[in-house]
Amino acid sequence: MKSRTDYKLAPQRIKQLKNFLLRLKIDPEDLVNISESDLELKLQIINEALTHTSAQAKYNHERLEFLGDAVLRLAASEFIDRKFPYMKVGERSALRSQIVSDDWLASVGESIQIEEILIIGTKASKDSSALQTLQAEATEALIGAIYECFRDLHKIHNWLYQYWLVSSNKFLDDPYRQNPKSALQEWSQSNGLKLPKYEIEEITQHHGDPNRFFCKVYLEGNAIGKGWGRSRKLAEKEAAKFAMQYLSIKDYD
């Protein structure tokens, strides 16, 4: 880490960042038993991760978000290897895709109330539909910042283990393995039916709006599912999930 002398953090911001890190279960001694200059450097890096590009500051989250992407994938792979040593490679890949996804990052960011400590531009702060994207980007940048500060994946594991565990259990409890489109296609083929067809309508043009796209899925000309999403892909996924739930109920009628 290179020393930065071109800007200083205000005392109130230093206190805010320290308290925030302690909430993440970063070891207290790492923030206490170090020199004042080293502490400020670490907090400058954390502050960089929590400064969005919309704030137009000299240092922003982009560099650390790039680093955080690689750190997260490695740490998540280690978690899966330790927690599920006998899981097949295909299952590992599917699980990892869930616990490093933007949706997962946004949920972690929401749980730690990351938006309350973010430095963002005025326009971005008023765009409620972009909040989930901001949370995901900032959380990934924060992962990169923590690794750069301490060079210790153990701290990433300490922080994220509980979130990975909950998400992994949900994944393993899901009979469709978070991929209902594939499950629906397999179901239709196994029953000698044609492939499902998806019809998508763009309801709004607001980026990040969870109801931006509306999708209906048809099987043999019959509508069997519907769903909304902030992207076409997510709307299709929700429609397929609805359809699989409908078909499961129908099988027992």
Name which of 75, 50, 83 is nearest 152 in CA terms.
Answer: 75
Which residue shows structure tokens 């206190």? 15
127 flagged as catalytic = no
Q: What distance in Å separates the CA atoms of residue 11 and residue 7, rounded to the nearest whole number?
A: 13
Residue 185 buriedness (CB in 10 A; 0-12 / 13-18 / 19+): middle
Cβ pair 64, 49 in contact under 8 A = yes
Q: What distance in Å separates the CA atoms of residue 141 and residue 148, rounded to the nearest whole number?
A: 10
DSSP β-bridge partners for residue 227: 215
Q: How many residues does this entry show for the chain?
A: 253
Question: Choosing from 137, 140, 148, 238, which is the catalytic residue?
Answer: 140
Question: Choosing from 69, 91, 174, 209, which is the catalytic residue?
Answer: 69
140 flagged as catalytic = yes
CA angle 216, 217, 219 (to 5 degrees): 145
Catalytic residues: 69, 140
